[in-house]
Amino acid sequence: MNEMAPPKTERAAALKGLGTSRKRVEDARFTQGKGNYVDDIKMAGMLFGDFVRSPYAHARVKSIDTEKALAVPGVHAILTAADLEPLGLHWMPTLAGDKQMVLADGKVLFQGQEVAFVVADDRYAAADAVELVVVDYEELPVVVDPFKAQEEDAPVLREDIADQKEGAHGPRRHHNHIFTWEQGDKDATEAVISEADVVAEEMVYYHRTHPCPLETCGCVASMDKVNGKLTVWGTFQAPHAVRTVASLISGIAEHNIRIVSPDIGGGFGNKVGVYPGYICSIVASIVTGVPVKWVEDRMENLMATAFARDYWMKGRISATKDGRITGLWAHVTADHGAFDACADPTKFPAGFFNICTGSYDIPTAYLSVDGVYTNKAPGGVAYRCSFRVTEAAYLIERMIEILAIELDMDAAELRAKNFIKKEQFPYQSALGWEYDSGDYHTAWDKALKAVDYPGLRKQQAERLEAFKRGETRKLMGIGLTHFTEIVGAGPVKNCDILGLGMFDSCEIRIHPTGSAIARLGTISQGQGHATTFAQILATEIGIPADDITLEEGDTDTAPYGLGTYGSRSTPVAGAATAMAGRKIRAKAQMIAAYLLEVHDDDVEWDVDRFAVKGAPERFKTMKDIAFASYNQAIPGIEPGLEAVSYYDPPNMTYPFGAYICVLDIDVDSGEVDIRSFYALDDCGTRINPMIIEGQVHGGLTEALAIAMAQEITYDDLGNMKNATLMDFYLPTSWETPHYTTDHTETPSPHHPIGAKGVGESPNVGGVPCFSNAVHDAFKSFGLKQSHMPHDHWRIWKIAHDLGLHG
Amino acid sequence: MIPGSFDYHRPDSVGAAVKLLVDFGDGARVIAGGHSLIPMMKLRMADLDHLIDLQGINDLKSITVSGANVTIGAMVTQHELIANEALFSMAPIVREAALQIADPQVRYVGTLGGNVANGDPGNDMPGLMQCLDASYTVVGPNGSRDIAARSFYEAAYFTERQDDEILTSISFKSKKGGYAYEKQKRKIGDYATAASAVLIEKDGGNCTAASIAMTNLSDTPVCPQEAAAALIGTALDEASISAAVTAAVNAIDPAEDNRGPVEFKKYVAGIMLRRAIERATARA
């Protein structure tokens, strides 16, 4: 007879499972400075690599003289393209089906491009030698404007493919053209728009910016010539994909490559791609026979590793007189820089931009995207968003606002009138997606009520009158956004990266004493996976989250997965975790039934145990079962208690949210005061409310940065103008406003626990919300569209151009 | 972001530091808080063989108030400028301005001497010292001399100080009346988009003395006497303030950068100055 069982609720609480605001288990080491990042790795005999980079945006490399640099004491080797060419490694494939120079092969195509790789005893010797490498450049005409790049007589940037008429994504029509991607019905859309009562048309630019994780990119490569095994520790958001790609391009057998992502200090998409530094470190380790470390500095990170956005989006949206949207037409000129190094699922060269119909029931739509080369750094990664989703959300949420102006209708009302209705889900969008679930009207009504929307509009009208009377120089703006994301890439049938299906995985081992270890194919960069995935498991298998170790990032031990980006960890690996947990439970049920001497069907799951149906005092806890699985011979059941699940999601998930920002603008200085920000997120089932809140705070702060000041810009010669944190805007706590968070909960119908992902929602929804608020402040003076970022001088310029400076 | 190699020296007296400067000549630089020099060294824009650290010279670390005279050692940190009550009672504008420089971590290390000596037009203290009509003492192989802050700055990073001289202290007389330091910046830690220091004395309703200086709006700080003159003797009415602002904006010559174009900078310079005058007037 077992002792008296504590009540169900008490036992459930002890598990710290789903829905618990469990404190992050990672924070103890991070807050004490005891994380283990790439740059913390120190190995005997380790050398350091450093790059010679191009000062020019477009130039022919006539010669490279390394003689003086090689004479610097402590310098071991200097690699150039000529050294990599015999290995076939002077170019490498990009994730987008293009190829990219590892080291300058005859010419350079952007400022900061890697030209030579110096390997030395320490960073100091390497930096001294970098200064002494003499590169003879012949400057070539520079093109930084993607429209000018497409002109007939534009300079030929990519001489390697100048005559190639077919790219990775179809025909190329110009030497600087990469691809054209079309979705939807062009003729039908143009017909609807030409016959519409009201049409709003605008060019909306989502400027170039950069994920700028606090930890820059880097790696330590170590080739063990005795056992032939290559180990690379690096800042990799997708370690398994890196292993496969490394094997394919180096020819080293995949079982002889071990990729390890240690602690990562933020990724935000910047650490998805493969960079020349990784390849050069690996080659240098092979050449020198000792480990080689390469860690870029902040300027290198901002200048040369993957940027985000840079989409020129032309939109046309049509509606009936009473505000029923009838069609959406969009064309994007996508500036990819010198190489197409976007990180998108292979079949989606513009990512999931075709989510640009947003939260609205738009019956007819057409989208085309043209990718273009320019003399800028390559990239185009999903900076805290699913692939190009934040660009799509920005376009539709700006177009809605502009349409509301054309209709002379309140933008909140226009949204409500056109939302996809709850009963329409699953909803087939005009541009090809099946939205799994949603309840937009409930969320919207809750948001408007929470902020007293009519009251805000009344205040705004009063402020405007006071402004006109000369009593204040501040205008009030109300920013509205209702966004729908598409995350959780994705179903293997249409989502792959370089042929690798975008499933994910979890492997669980229960130890004899009832604790456990789980390993996943993902990798946390600050998301708190060790905390939240243990919570999913705790609820599934009845072992306290505190008794579950979670490991990711070592390809020798973790099951294969496609990594962490695009809010895919919870939708895909989280599902794999639940499914693996259920396999454990299924086996545990048989063991429990055997131990309780009843039929399998006569026991039922009860929080942390199986109990005999109708006799709850007769039970076996998961702990009892785990022990039995290791020490009892049970007929027909293998010893041990382990499971692995590879989860191929049947669909994406579609988190959504309603955000409202109120701000005050000083029309004379252009300064902005964010008065309040209300964020309602619906991410389906909520695993850890505290972590969700933290994610929302962080994502909104990055959204604030992007919308208000953060940018990567170039002058006409291709000089990058924001290469330090003096000029590249990262908000501090001082600039960060207070956020009010809220939620509704519409579980995903196809996800095992109904979760949808949340890490990127606040960036996707936040950017249009801040931007719409700025536009709204000037709406009554006739402003329709002004490009981000809304920094002081650009806001001042809006006011100036509208005649508000007298 | 790694500097070239250099020798490090830590003298314990001004004399010893000057001797090192003389001995090593062009290849030597003194370092105070290092917030300007170290980044330049890391970018290899400042290439030097000898770094002479002034941290070991205790004589440069005190704030002395004697009657109406204030003397501040070159190695006094921005944090100490904020914390020192005697200084606050003599010139409260110093605390107000120092609180708008960088962030607490930087202010614990950054010094007044380094800030004024470097000649960086982005630094706040040169303009403030011109507003206070301060005097700098520099010591070289031929002894010491005093240079008025208002005639110290020649161009960006070029000053009256000779290469073998060290700026050792900053002196000014106590300022009565109203004061204000207004600074627009993109974020905490940034240099000014535009900043203005204003001191105003009143007798009855009339302005009896005024001083105005502007920061980061030319390649040196700007202390337009004609702007101050437009206020003196007036009732600080709207017309006088406008005249002062117009005179000041005419005296500046901002350059376009990531903070914005010239037209914008001139406009916000006027806004910052107007706000500073109004706030100083209210306090006078």
Report the relative pairing of strands A114-120 and A75-79 from DSSP bridges: antiparallel
Of B44, B188, B258, the CB nearest to A721: B258
Are B159 and B240 in a shared domain? no
Are B204 and B166 in a shared domain? no
Query: Is residue A732 scored above 60 in pLDDT?
Result: yes
Report the relative pairing of strands A740-743 and A672-682 from DSSP bridges: parallel
Are B70 and B151 in a shared domain? yes
Instruction: Kindly give, in sequence order, each residue whose CB lies less than 8 Å from that of residue A573, ignoring residues fewer than 6 positions away.
Output: A504, A505, A506, A520, A521, A522, A533, A561, A564, A647
Question: What is the DSSP secondary structure assignment for residue A42, as one 8-state letter?
Answer: -
With pLDDT > 70 as the criterion, what percentage of chain A qualifies? 99
Q: Say what the pLDDT of residue A3 is.
A: 52
CATH number of A307-489+652-801: 3.30.365.10
Average pLDDT over residues A765-785: 98
**How does pLDDT run across B210-230, given as a tens digit for each residue?**
999 999 999 999 999 999 999
Query: Which of the listed residues B124, B142, B173 is the one where a domain comes to its end?
Result: B173
Are B143 and B204 in a shared domain? no
B-chain residues near A793 (CB < 8 A): 193, 259-261, 264
List A505's β-bridge partners, or say none: A646
Q: Is A732 helix (H, G, I), strand (E, B) or coil?
A: coil
Are B164 and B234 in a shared domain? no
Question: How many angstroms separate the Cα of A519 from the Cα of each of A486, A488, A625, A643?
Answer: 26, 19, 21, 11
Are B65 and B34 in a shared domain? no
Query: Is residue A4 scored above 70 in pLDDT?
Result: no
Average pLDDT over residues A441-467: 98
Q: What is the mean pLDDT of chain A?
A: 96
B135 CB-side CA count, 13 A: 12
Query: Is residue A223 scored above 60 in pLDDT?
Result: yes
Average pLDDT over residues A155-172: 95
Is the CB of residue A382 less than 8 Å from the CB of residue A351?
Answer: yes
Chain region(s) in chain A for CATH 3.90.1170.50: 38-140+233-264+271-288
State whether B187 and A670 contact (CB < 8 Å): no
Total number of domains constituting chain B: 3
Residue spans of alpha helices (H) in A295-452: 298-304, 389-407, 411-418, 440-450
Query: Is residue A346 scored above 90 in pLDDT?
Result: no
Whether residue A737 is preceded by a cis peptide bond, meaning omega within 30 degrees of 0, is no
State the DSSP string of A467-517. Answer: HHTTS-SEEEEEEEEEEE--BS---TTT-EETTEE--EEEEEEE-TTS-EE
**How does pLDDT run across B88-114, given as a tens digit for each residue?**
999 999 999 999 999 999 999 999 999
Class of domain A38-140+233-264+271-288: alpha beta
Return the residue matching tokens 């109708």: A614
Residue B168 lies in a domain: yes
Q: Is some CB atom of chain A closer than 8 A to the CB atom of B6?
A: no
Q: Is some CB atom of chain B closer than 8 A to the CB atom of A630?
A: no
Query: Is residue A696 scored above 70 in pLDDT?
Result: yes
Q: Say what the pLDDT of residue A5 is.
A: 62
CATH number for the domain harbouring residue B16: 3.30.43.10
CATH number for the domain harbouring residue B218: 3.30.390.50
Q: Which two tokens stand for residue A525?
A: 């960069």
Question: How many angstroms separate the Cα of A211 from the Cα of each of A219, A271, A379, A625, B233?
Answer: 19, 9, 11, 47, 55
Query: Which of the listed residues B36, B53, B70 is the one where a domain comes to its end?
Result: B53
Test the B interface: residue of A796, A801, A804 with most B CBs within 10 Å: A796
Residue B138 main-chain phi, psi, to 5 deg: -120, 145
Q: How far apart are CA A85 and CA A78, in angstroms?
A: 14
Query: Is residue A1 scored above 50 in pLDDT?
Result: no
Residue B134 lies in a domain: yes
Are B164 and B245 in a shared domain? no
Of A131, A734, A805, the CB nearest to B188: A734
CATH number of A8-35+504-647: 3.30.365.10
| A504-510: strand order across its sheet | A548-552, A516-520, A504-510, A642-647
- Name residue A435's amino acid: Y
Q: Is some CB atom of chain B closer than 8 A to the CB atom of A722?
A: yes
State the DSSP string of A51-113. Answer: EEE-SSSSEEEEEEE-HHHHTSTTEEEEE-HHHHGGGT-SEEE-TTS-EEESS-SSEE-STT-
Average pLDDT over residues B201-205: 93
Q: Identify the band that residue A44 occupies on the pLDDT scale cut at 50, 70 and 90.
A: very high
Query: Is residue B197 scored above 80 in pLDDT?
Result: yes
**How does pLDDT run across A581-632, given as a tens digit for each residue?**
999 999 999 999 999 999 999 999 999 999 999 999 999 999 999 999 999 9
Residue of chain B minimizing CA distance to A800: B264
CATH number for the domain harbouring residue B139: 3.30.465.10
Burial class (CB in 10 A: 0-12, 13-18, 19+), A368: middle
- C-alpha closest to that of B188 among A788, A729, A789, A795: A729
Per residue, the 3-state secondary structure of A529-587, as one string, reads HHHHHHHHHHHHHCCCHHHEEEEECECCCCCCCCCCCCCCHHHHHHHHHHHHHHHHHHH
User: What number is the ipTM of this complex?
Assistant: 0.96
Are B166 and B68 in a shared domain? yes
User: Among A4-8, A284-288, A429-433, A719-723, where is mean pLDDT lowest?
Assistant: A4-8
Q: Which two tokens stand for residue A642?
A: 């382990």
Whether residue A426 is preceded by a cis peptide bond, meaning omega within 30 degrees of 0, is yes
With pLDDT > 70 as the criterion, what percentage of chain B qualifies? 100
Query: Is residue A780 scored above 60 in pLDDT?
Result: yes
Q: Look at the pTM and tell me if it is higher than 0.95.
A: yes
Q: Is some CB atom of chain B closer than 8 A to the CB atom of A124?
A: yes
Query: Is residue A2 scored above 70 in pLDDT?
Result: no
Query: Is residue B57 scored above 70 in pLDDT?
Result: yes
Residue B179 lies in a domain: no
Instruction: Kindly give, in sequence order, each residue whose CB lies less than 8 Å from that of residue A389, ignoring residues fewer than 6 positions away.
Output: A351, A352, A353, A355, A382, A485, A486, A487, A760, A764
Tell me how crowded residue A455 is: count the other CB atoms within 10 A of its CB. Answer: 9
Residue of chain B minimizing CA distance to A735: B187
Residue of chain B minimizing CA distance to A123: B2
Tell me how crowded residue B89 is: count the other CB atoms within 10 A of its CB. Answer: 10
Residue B262 lies in a domain: yes
Query: Is residue A265 scored above 90 in pLDDT?
Result: yes
Q: Is some CB atom of chain B closer than 8 A to the CB atom of A296?
A: no
**How does pLDDT run across B231-263, given as a tens digit for each residue?**
999 999 999 999 999 999 999 999 999 999 999
Q: What is the mean pLDDT of chain B?
A: 97
Question: How many angstroms separate the Cα of A212 from the Cα of each of A245, A301, A338, A666, A702?
Answer: 24, 7, 20, 29, 10
State whether A792 and B187 contact (CB < 8 Å): no
Query: Is residue B167 scored above 80 in pLDDT?
Result: yes
Of A128, A297, A792, the CB nearest to B186: A792
Chain region(s) in chain A for CATH 3.30.365.10: 8-35+504-647, 307-489+652-801
Are B105 and B73 in a shared domain? yes
Query: Which of the listed residues B117, B143, B173 is the one where a domain comes to its end?
Result: B173
Q: How far apart are CA B134 and CA A222, in angstroms?
A: 60
Are B17 and B108 in a shared domain? no
Q: How far apart are CA A638 and CA B43, in angstroms?
A: 64
Question: How many angstroms separate the Cα of A34 from the Cα of each of A338, A450, A551, A552?
Answer: 39, 41, 17, 18
Are B23 and B113 in a shared domain? no
Query: Alpha carbon A662 to chain centroid distance?
Result: 27
Q: Say what the pLDDT of residue A6 is.
A: 76
Q: Say what the pLDDT of residue A249 is.
A: 86
Question: What is the DSSP secondary structure assignment for residue A789, as one 8-state letter?
Answer: P
Known catalytic membership, residue A237: yes
Domain boundaries, position B153: 61-173
Q: How far apart are the two ends of chain B, measured CA to CA in Å?
A: 48
| B7-9: strand order across its sheet | B7-9, B50-53, B28-31
Residue B55 main-chain phi, psi, to 5 deg: -60, -25
**How does pLDDT run across B134-158, given as a tens digit for each residue?**
999 999 999 999 999 999 999 999 9
Q: Say what the pLDDT of residue B1 is.
A: 82
Burial class (CB in 10 A: 0-12, 13-18, 19+), A330: buried
Q: How far apart are CA A682 and CA A579, in angstroms?
A: 23
**How does pLDDT run across A62-113, given as a tens digit for each residue?**
999 999 999 999 999 999 999 999 999 999 999 899 999 999 999 999 999 9
Is the CB of residue A22 less than 8 Å from the CB of residue A545?
Answer: yes
Residue B250 lies in a domain: yes
Are B164 and B219 in a shared domain? no
Q: Is some CB atom of chain A closer than 8 A to the CB atom of B128?
A: no
Q: How far apart are CA A435 and CA A485, in angstroms?
A: 10
Q: Which two tokens stand for residue A769?
A: 């919300």
Of A127, A669, A732, the CB nearest to B184: A669
Q: Say what the pLDDT of residue A75 is.
A: 98
A-chain residues near B2 (CB < 8 A): 123-124, 127
